[in-house]
Each structure stands twice: as structure tokens, then as C-alpha cells.
Amino acid sequence: MAKVSVMGAGSWGTALAVLLHNNGHEVILWSALGDEVALLREKRENPGKLPGVKLPEEIVITDDAESAMENPDVAVLAVPSPFTRSTSKNLAPFVKEGQIIVNVAKGIEEKTLMTLSEIIEQEIPQANVCVLSGPSHAEEVGRGLPTTCVVSSKKKETAEYLQEIFMSPVFRVYTTPDILGVELGGALKNVIALAAGTADGLGYGDNTKAALITRGIAEIARLGVKMGAKTETFAGLSGIGDLIVTCASVHSRNRKAGYLMGKGYTMKEAMDEVKMVVEGVYSAKAAKALAEKYQVEMPIVDEVNKLLFEDKPASEAVTDLMQRDRKGEISEIPW
């Protein structure tokens, strides 16, 4: 049995707390929000973010970061990506040398273009930072539906230790050393999911979505490889796997926000309607900036940025994608 502190009590943090408890571990669930802690203690449920998933009485719920970070074997950082830096900064004084911190959020910081693990390492240099990612909606993990993820660490033994902690009959975990590829796949798929949702909102069909998913992963992989990630990672769970589920699922916040924009909502109206953090909106500008920095062509990302920040009509964005110059599908394959 391990002692695990889940730092962040949103839908994903709550679902992972239940999973880890069911795996036989001692679990603390922390939130920075006093009102949220009071609600979770009273209801033993997060009715606004994860309704129907009960928190066992054995899970300790607290807003005291110092006590939550007192000698856990593993700390799971489960706050939304825009709060990764501020939360890491606040936790840093309580983190001991070599503490394993597993980031489970997905995003890229707009101002610095840093991945979330890079942010955590910058704010908590004494930590051993790892990543858990993959096609894993909290609504399904919380209900115990079969799910598969990947955990990444600089050290194989740390990844295998975390694999053992998270693994269960309904939660299968693989390992990989490619932290950068895992994080880029998890962050950039949210931008493509906005495009897929927009196509749904416009009333387009499965052909359109398949095209966006396929060409979307091509864009993500082009950028990732240029940045130093491994091609194979984007064919895996944190690449095409996560992209498929985020573009297609009714649980996807990014797809829902895109769907609303396809129906004519502004970006702000769509985010207000979703009522939870839409990570793709925060990652879109960073994705475009990375594409420019590494001189990688990412037309879907470009059009999503115009849709979000330049009020470009969704139908025009699709037309412009369809009418781009003719190209071969995979340039590396010779005639």
C-alpha cells in the first residue's frame, strides 16, 4: 500500500482518488478551495464536476497543502493546466528532495511555451516529475469503465513503480521514456478537438471528423519530432488514442466548446456554457507559437486560432482548409 496525495479535486483528481483508493492505497484529496472541500466532505461526491461518483469515507479531504504533502509516496498534480505554475509554486516549500510528482493535466504554457512537467521542474526543482496521460475521461474512470493510459518518467524504475500503483483490473498502464511526446500529444489534441467539435456543430459528418483526426495527428507528430519527441509516441495512447477520444466523446469539454462555436457561439460564450476549463483554448496560441518557432506547418492549428481569437466564421475556416494547395499525404515515402 502506498500513501498518495491527489492535489486537485476537479473531475479528474476526484476520479483518480477513487481509483487509487480502490487499488488499496491510502489517499488524501486536496483542494485549494475551502467551499469545494466543505461540499466534498458533506456530500462525499463532486456533484458539479463528477456526479454519481462517491468518495469513500476513507479518503481524507483537505485544503491544507502542507499536511497533504507530508511524506506521500506519490503526489498526483491534478489541477487544470492554467494553474499548474501557481499551484507548483505554492507547494514547493512542502516538497522534499526526490518526491515523486505525477502530472495528470494536459497543456502548454502560452507565455513560455513550456510543457507542464517543465513548469513543475522549474518551480519544484527537488521533485522527481513524471506524467500520466492517455484517453481517459474522468466520467468513465470514476465509474470503473476499462481505460488504458501511459506513464512516463526519466527513470524506468520510477515509471514501473507508478505503473504498479495505478494499475488495476479496469485501469491498464503502459510505460514510456518519452515525456515530451506524451505531453505534446496530450496538450495539442485539445486544439484539434476544438476543430472536430466545430465540424460537428456545423453539421458535417464522420468523413470530416476522420479527416481532422488523421491530419491533426500528422500536425502534432511533425511538431513533436522537430522538438525532439519520438514518432512512435504519436501512434500510441497519448497520441492518436487521446486524440480519438477527445474528438469523439460526449464527455470532451474541448469538443463541446467547438460544437458550440460551430453553432455560432463566441469563444467566451462557449467556455461559459461548458462551465469547466477548456484546455484547448489555452493551448491553441502556444501551439501556433511553437509551430512558428520550429517552422512546422500546422494548418488546422492556424485555423483554430483564427476561429478563437480573430472571430473567423467556422464555415470559412473549413473551406480554407479544404482548398489549400495540393500535396502528397506522406512526404517521407518516395515514389
Same domain, 157 and 262: no
Secondary structure (3-state) at 51: strand
Same domain, 231 and 318: yes
Residues 198 and 253: beta-carbon distance below 8 Å: no
Secondary structure (3-state) at 27: strand
The predicted-structure confidence for 57-82, as pLDDT tens digits, reads as follows: 999 999 999 999 999 999 999 999 99
Q: Is the pTM of this model over 0.85?
A: yes
End position of a domain, from candidates 177, 196, 214: 177
pLDDT value, residue 322: 86
Distance (Å, whole) CA 206 – CA 321: 17
Domain residue limits at 51: 3-177
Which DSSP letter does residue 93 get?
G
Q: Which of 49, 106, 189, 285 is catalytic?
A: 189
Check pLDDT > 90 for residue 221.
yes
The predicted-structure confidence for 156-197, as pLDDT tens digits, reads as follows: 999 999 999 999 999 999 999 999 999 999 999 999 999 999
Residue 293 lies in a domain: yes
Would you call 209 a catalytic residue per the annotation? no
pLDDT value, residue 8: 97
Residue 8 lies in a domain: yes
What is the domain count for the chain?
A: 2
Same domain, 27 and 125: yes
Secondary structure (3-state) at 105: coil
The predicted-structure confidence for 98-127, as pLDDT tens digits, reads as follows: 999 999 999 999 999 999 999 999 999 999
Check pLDDT > 90 for residue 333.
no
Mean pLDDT within 225-245: 97
Cα dihedral value 206, 211, 213, 214, nearest 10: 140
Same domain, 173 and 192: no
Mean pLDDT within 238-258: 92
Residues 178 and 97: beta-carbon distance below 8 Å: no
Same domain, 269 and 204: yes
Give the pLDDT band (50/70/90) at residue 273. confident
